[in-house]
Amino acid sequence: MKRKRVLVTGGAGFIGSHLCERLLEKGNDVVCMDNLFTGQKDNIRHLMDNPYFEFIRHDILEDVYVECDEIYNLACPASPIHYQYDPIKTGKTSVIGALHTLGLAKRCHARILQASTSEVYGNPQVHPQPESYCGSVNPIGVRSCYDEGKRMAETLFFDYHRQHGVDIKVIRIFNTYGPRMRSDDGRVVSNFIVQALKGDDITIYGDGKQTRSFCYVDDLIDGMIRMMESREGFTGPVNLGNPVECTMLSLAETVIRLTGSMSKIVHFPLPQDDPVQRKPVIDLAQKELDWEPVTALNDGLQKTINYFRSALF
Task: Compute the distance between CA of residue 34 and CA of residue 36 in angstroms, rounded to an integer.
Answer: 5
Give whichever of 50 and 138 is closer to ligand UDP, judged by the CB atom.
138
CB 264 → ligand NAD: shortest distance, Å?
27
Q: Can you list the alpha helix ranges (DSSP code H) found in the chain?
A: 14-25, 80-83, 87-108, 144-164, 188-198, 217-228, 248-259, 283-289, 297-312
Is residue 146 annotated as part of the catalytic site, yes or no?
yes
- Selected from 226, 271, 273, 311, the binder of ligand UDP by CB under 6 A is 271
Task: Compute the distance between CA of residue 117 and CA of residue 11 in angstroms, rounded to an integer.
Answer: 17
- Selected from 76, 248, 256, 282, the binder of ligand UDP by CB under 6 A is 248
Using CB under 6 A, which residues numbered 65 to 94 contact ligand UDP? 79-80
Task: Compute the distance between CA of residue 7 and CA of residue 33 in angstroms, rounded to an integer.
Answer: 7
Task: Compute the distance between CA of residue 234 and CA of residue 264 in angstroms, rounded to an integer.
Answer: 48
Contact window for ligand UDP (CB under 6 A) among 60-68, 148-156, 199-207, 219-227? 199-207
> Interface with ligand UDP includes 274 (CB under 6 A)?
yes
Cβ–Cβ < 8 Å for 97, 61: yes
- Selected from 133, 158, 205, 307, the binder of ligand UDP by CB under 6 A is 205
C-alpha distances in angstroms, 49 versus 24, 30, 196?
12, 13, 35
- Selected from 93, 123, 191, 239, the binder of ligand UDP by CB under 6 A is 191
> Interface with ligand NAD includes 15 (CB under 6 A)?
yes
Which neighbouring-strand residues pair with 173? 117, 240
Give whichever of 190 and 295 is closer to ligand UDP, judged by the CB atom.
190
Task: Compute the distance between CA of residue 133 and CA of residue 121 in angstroms, rounded to an integer.
Answer: 7
Between CA 295 and CA 302, with CA 299 as vertex, the angle to 5 degrees is 140
> Interface with ligand NAD includes 160 (CB under 6 A)?
no
Contact window for ligand NAD (CB under 6 A) among 36-44, 99-107, 152-160, 200-208? 36-44
Which neighbouring-strand residues pair with 268? 205
CB 65 → ligand UDP: shortest distance, Å?
33
> Interface with ligand UDP includes 261 (CB under 6 A)?
no
Phi, psi of 17 (to 5 degrees): -70, -35
Give whichever of 224 and 251 is closer to ligand UDP, judged by the CB atom.
251
- Selected from 123, 176, 195, 304, the binder of ligand NAD by CB under 6 A is 176
Task: Compute the distance between CA of residue 11 and CA of residue 36 in angstroms, rounded to an integer.
Answer: 9
CB 157 → ligand UDP: shortest distance, Å?
21
Task: Compute the distance between CA of residue 38 and CA of residue 60 in angstroms, rounded to an integer.
Answer: 14
Q: Running DSSP on this structure, what letter comes out for residue 271?
A: P
Report the chain's terminal Cα–Cα distance, integer Å.
44
Instruction: List the single partner that 60 binds among ligand NAD, ligand UDP, none, CB under 5 to 8 Å by kind.
Output: ligand NAD
Cβ–Cβ < 8 Å for 120, 152: no
Q: Which of 83, 121, 146, 216 is catalytic?
A: 146
Using CB under 6 A, which residues numbered 47 to 86 contact ligand NAD? 59-61, 74-78
CB burial of residue 294 (10 Å; 0-12, 13-18, 19+): exposed
The residues annotated as belonging to the active site are 146
Residues that bind ligand NAD (CB under 6 A): 9-10, 12-16, 34-39, 59-61, 74-78, 93, 115, 117, 173, 175-176
Residues that bind ligand UDP (CB under 6 A): 79-80, 175, 187-188, 191, 203-205, 210, 212, 248, 270-271, 274
